[in-house]
Chain A
Amino acid sequence: MALLHIDGLQKAYVGPDGSRHQVVDIPRFELAEGAAVALAGPSGSGKTTFLNLVAGILAPDAGHVRIDGTDVAQLPEHERDRFRARHVGYIFQTFNLLQGFTCLENVLLGMSFGHGIDRARAEALLRRVGLGERLHHFPRQLSTGQQQRVAVARALAGKPRLVLADEPTGNLDPRHAQEALALIREVCAENGSALLLVSHDRDILARFGMVASLADINRASRATSSGGAS
């Protein structure tokens, strides 16, 4: 059974000159429960917009985003926030850690908006990603790889059903990129979370059994590509 079911999803932006730019136009997309799928797409192909729509950060112009039977696209904003906090983990390319909060607090904050704070689990997860000695360090005191691991711990701490990863290794060197990816997949597998990762890194994509091209599922992306925008 599909955990994520997308149907007729559309999103367009209006440019400064009033022109309308279709960014996402996905007739249908499904992701099975516990599956790990990589979406390949170049910069500007609408990857982030697509993930933001799935996460409920953005509301679509049309279409449905059903996660575990709930149509996120139809929920009011505050319900989408609540749903995201409880069911979706989001790993950003730039980590998006809160600089004024310690590693542990970053993870606890993520939990606090969802099912609630479980300090023991947060600490265990940070130890699990090798940051047991740095619970009370601030992000600026960590290396890039360590910051990424905090972001992973934060996204997975609430045991989300769906983990979205937007170029999660984009800022890491190849060795750290592979380590981070292994960690994400490992913890997702442990939690039984489905993973939807978007990247344009071929080395990363090669690690996935299921890889789809965003251009194949997103008609807007196809149009952009055929139009020679890139």
Chain B
Amino acid sequence: MTLPLLVRRSLRQHALSTAVTALSLSLAGGLLMTVWVMRQQARQTFERMDGGWDAVLGARSSKLQLVLNAIFHLEASPGNIKATDVALLASNPAVRAVVPIAMGDNYQGFRIVGVTTNLFAGHEYAPGHAFKVGEGRVFEDNLREAVVGSFAARKLGFKVGTEFQPYHGLNYSSNPRDNVQHEDTYVVVGILEPSNTPADRVVWIPVAGLQNMAGHDPSAAEDYSAALVKLRDPAAGFRLDQLYNKQGDRLTFAWPIGTVMAQLFDKIGWFDKVLALVAWLVAVVAAASVLASIYNSMSARRRDIAILRALGARRGTVFASIVLEAASVAAMGAMGGFVVHIGLLAGAGVIVRAQTGVLIEPFQPGWVWLWAPAALVGLAALAGVVPAFKAYKVDVASSLAPDS
């Protein structure tokens, strides 16, 4: 009873500093856990996010640019490929399906991608999951119709029957004078059900419509931006990789998509480490705040410590009570850290979803939920050793009022 009582009462006596310190520890713990979860979840999610395709064929460029452009609809297109290149690839016996895509326009920042209806004809973007039109129908290949991803539809306020005129280019400027709007008018005929993939952020139109959009270069009317490829045998990717990337010099065959994305995370690994370092530094600073908070109160506690010692408390008991107090503040901070963590994850999830269409599922139990609070408590307990040693050294006789 003694130690818990001593700690409980001390925490109550120093309620304000306890609350402030616990709050700083909450922020540190929340940040630490969020950085860890986000880096893991982001990597796992993006490496798995291949849209159901094995590879991408595009103009000569980096594989990463090609994947980001064709799968994640993020990067600029590296250039066009000829229809004959797509046809040649499609005739390869190792290839099961090829869906050419064309891009170059947007509507208020949401990318417009020209595609064939094959994309909506049973292609599985994840095992057991095919794109489904929730409202309306799929566009006709030869009409100015559009099927809109769920996120884009919600943000743009698109419904079936909504008409719109695409803007030229992939980027939409906040200054209306910088945006060039096409004369062609498209009508929304379908809204896709959410797929939690980048497709949710896309306005899909017939590929011929984008190729022949008024204002586009007529000489490129037969070209595509890229081709999404499904192989019969994943091992065939190696042969095609050799064919296009090693022997050829005009096209790039990005395969396998997951490995290409892993390279992205490897490239930004330093940033990952910086983030982790910052999170750890915040945790150390928070632990130091425990030290400062308790240490600064030691002068006021001297008398209480001396009384405890006079009552028979051993130096070790006093020492342990201070260390336990520091650990308790950290434990409270760690509990608060989960609240901060959940808030940060929710916010980060919304941002990632808005920017990429990818739904990260961070609320999965992980070891970080154990070791991060434990590390925080351990750090704080370690920090508590300094004031605890000061308490240990308190001279009883001189600290009790010597009145005679």
Does A35 interact with chain B (Cβ within 8 Å)? no
- The answer to whether A98 touches B312, judged by C-beta atoms less than 8 angstroms apart, is no
Interface members, chain A 93-121 (any B CB < 8 Å) = 93-94, 96-101, 105, 108-110, 112-114, 117
CB distance from A199 to the nearest CB of B (A): 9
* Also in contact, A109 and B310, with CB within 8 A (given A47-B404, A93-B403, A100-B304): no
B309: contacting residue among A57, A167, A200, CB under 8 A: A57
- Against A, the Cβ 8 Å flags (1 = close, 0 = not) of B281-314 are 0000000000000000000000110011111111
- Against A, the Cβ 8 Å flags (1 = close, 0 = not) of B304-331 are 1001111111111100000000000000
- The answer to whether B311 touches A110, judged by C-beta atoms less than 8 angstroms apart, is yes
- The answer to whether A112 touches B1, judged by C-beta atoms less than 8 angstroms apart, is yes
* Also in contact, A101 and B9, with CB within 8 A (given A47-B404, A117-B1): yes
* Also in contact, A78 and B315, with CB within 8 A (given A55-B310, A58-B397): yes
Interface members, chain A 70-93 (any B CB < 8 Å) = 77-78, 81-82, 84-86, 90, 92-93
Does B5 interact with chain A (Cβ within 8 Å)? yes
> Could you say which of A100, A110, A167, A198 has the most chain B C-beta atoms within 10 Å of its C-beta?
A100
* Also in contact, A85 and B404, with CB within 8 A (given A100-B10, A112-B1): no
- The answer to whether B402 touches A48, judged by C-beta atoms less than 8 angstroms apart, is yes
- The answer to whether A166 touches B312, judged by C-beta atoms less than 8 angstroms apart, is no
- The answer to whether A167 touches B397, judged by C-beta atoms less than 8 angstroms apart, is no
**CA distance in complex: A86, B311 (Å):** 9
CB distance from B4 to the nearest CB of A (A): 11
**CA distance in complex: A26, B161 (Å):** 107
**Given the complex, which residues of A lie within 8 Å of B307, measured CB to CB?**
96-98
- The answer to whether B310 touches A48, judged by C-beta atoms less than 8 angstroms apart, is no
- The answer to whether B5 touches A52, judged by C-beta atoms less than 8 angstroms apart, is no
Does A44 interact with chain B (Cβ within 8 Å)? yes
**CA distance in complex: A117, B5 (Å):** 13
Residue on A with the closest CB to B10? A100
Does A170 interact with chain B (Cβ within 8 Å)? yes
Residue on A with the closest CB to B304? A98
Does B142 interact with chain A (Cβ within 8 Å)? no
**CA distance in complex: A35, B365 (Å):** 68
Does A230 interact with chain B (Cβ within 8 Å)? no
- The answer to whether B404 touches A100, judged by C-beta atoms less than 8 angstroms apart, is no
* Also in contact, A44 and B404, with CB within 8 A (given A81-B314, A98-B307): yes
Does B401 interact with chain A (Cβ within 8 Å)? yes
A85: contacting residue among B1, B311, B396, B397, CB under 8 A: B311
Interface members, chain B 1-27 (any A CB < 8 Å) = 1-2, 5-6, 9-10, 12-13
Does A41 interact with chain B (Cβ within 8 Å)? yes
**CA distance in complex: A81, B311 (Å):** 8
**CA distance in complex: A183, B264 (Å):** 81
**Given the complex, which residues of A lie within 8 Å of B1, measured CB to CB?**
108, 112, 117
Does A193 interact with chain B (Cβ within 8 Å)? no
Does B243 interact with chain A (Cβ within 8 Å)? no
**Given the complex, which residues of A lie within 8 Å of B236, measured CB to CB?**
none
**Given the complex, which residues of A lie within 8 Å of B404, measured CB to CB?**
41, 43-48, 93, 166-167, 198, 200
**CA distance in complex: A55, B315 (Å):** 16
Residue on B with the closest CB to A42? B404
Does B352 interact with chain A (Cβ within 8 Å)? no
- The answer to whether B403 touches A113, judged by C-beta atoms less than 8 angstroms apart, is no
> Could you say which of A94, A96, A99 has the most chain B C-beta atoms within 10 Å of its C-beta?
A96
**Given the complex, which residues of B lie within 8 Å of A109, measured CB to CB?**
2, 5-6, 308, 311
- Against B, the Cβ 8 Å flags (1 = close, 0 = not) of A181-213 are 000000000000000001010000000000000
Residue on A with the closest CB to B307? A96
CB distance from B214 to the nearest CB of A (A): 80
Does B87 interact with chain A (Cβ within 8 Å)? no
CB distance from B216 to the nearest CB of A (A): 78
**Given the complex, which residues of A lie within 8 Å of B303, measured CB to CB?**
96
- The answer to whether B12 touches A100, judged by C-beta atoms less than 8 angstroms apart, is yes
**CA distance in complex: A18, B400 (Å):** 23
**CA distance in complex: A48, B402 (Å):** 7
**CA distance in complex: A48, B315 (Å):** 22
**CA distance in complex: A170, B404 (Å):** 11
**Given the complex, which residues of A lie within 8 Å of B311, measured CB to CB?**
85, 90, 109-110, 113, 154
**Given the complex, which residues of B lie within 8 Å of A101, measured CB to CB?**
5, 9
**CA distance in complex: A63, B397 (Å):** 19
- The answer to whether A96 touches B312, judged by C-beta atoms less than 8 angstroms apart, is no
- The answer to whether A86 touches B403, judged by C-beta atoms less than 8 angstroms apart, is no
**CA distance in complex: A81, B2 (Å):** 15
* Also in contact, A113 and B13, with CB within 8 A (given A92-B400, A98-B307, A105-B5): no
Interface members, chain B 127-165 (any A CB < 8 Å) = none
Q: List 28 A-B contacts (CB under 8 A).
A: A41-B404, A43-B404, A48-B404, A52-B396, A78-B315, A81-B313, A82-B312, A84-B312, A85-B313, A86-B312, A90-B311, A93-B403, A94-B401, A98-B304, A98-B307, A99-B304, A100-B9, A101-B9, A108-B5, A110-B311, A112-B1, A113-B2, A113-B311, A113-B314, A113-B317, A166-B404, A198-B404, A200-B404
User: Sorted from nearest, which 3 A-B pairs have the closest CB atoms?
Assistant: A85-B312, A113-B312, A100-B13
Contacts A57-B309, A90-B311 supplied; 17 other A-B pairs, CB < 8 Å: A41-B404, A43-B403, A43-B404, A48-B403, A49-B397, A52-B396, A55-B310, A84-B310, A84-B312, A94-B401, A94-B403, A99-B304, A100-B9, A108-B1, A112-B2, A167-B403, A167-B404
